[in-house]
């Protein structure tokens, strides 16, 4: 199962979950995650078997609860697929003070450099949550 090159270039590996690979988007300001279900040929949510939909929902829930513990004002969950057709889910911690609030975060660019130390922090946090 290959993950789209754009997703690989724009994010860092955190861990493998039951269905998905969890990746941290290279954004210097936000905790922005991408869940990529590791099954071939998935484009839309409805391409998932019902059991896999439940599993992906559980993975989204796990990640959302970890973000909620950090006191975000809102957790955005989305699957657009306009730039990358392969099914992937964005889970983003948002604050009223972030660069795009209250608008959509899509298309806005971080002015801060991505801090790669966040990779190991999130790997530890997620492994404890599992």
List the CATH number of the domain containing 96: 3.30.428.10
pLDDT band at 19; cut points 50, 70, 90: very high
pLDDT band at 42; cut points 50, 70, 90: very high
Q: Give the whole-angstrom CA distance, residue 58 versus residue 119.
A: 22
Q: Is residue 119 part of a domain?
A: no
Q: Give the whole-angstrom CA distance, residue 17 versus residue 60.
A: 11
Cα–Cα–Cα angle for 123, 128, 130, rounded to 5 degrees:
95
* pTM assigned to the model: 0.96
- Structural domain range at position 51: 5-100
Burial class of residue 30, CB neighbours in 10 A (0-12, 13-18, 19+): buried
Q: How many domains does the chain have?
A: 1
3-state DSSP call for residue 51?
helix
């Amino acid at each position: 199962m290959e993950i789209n090159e754009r997703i690989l270039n724009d994010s860092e590996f955190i861990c493998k979950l039951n269905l998905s690979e969890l990746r941290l988007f290279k954004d210097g300001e936000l905790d922005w995650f991408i869940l990529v279900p590791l099954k071939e040929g998935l484009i839309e949510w409805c391409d998932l078997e019902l059991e896999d939909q439940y599993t992906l929902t559980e993975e989204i829930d796990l990640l959302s609860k970890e973000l909620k513990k950090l006191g975000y004002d809102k957790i955005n969950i989305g699957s657009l697929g306009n730039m990358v057709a392969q099914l992937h889910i964005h889970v983003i911690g948002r604050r009223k003070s972030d660069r795009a609030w209250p608008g959509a975060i899509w298309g806005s660019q971080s002015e801060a450099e991505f801090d790669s130390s966040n990779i190991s922090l999130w790997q530890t946090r997620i492994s404890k949550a599992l």
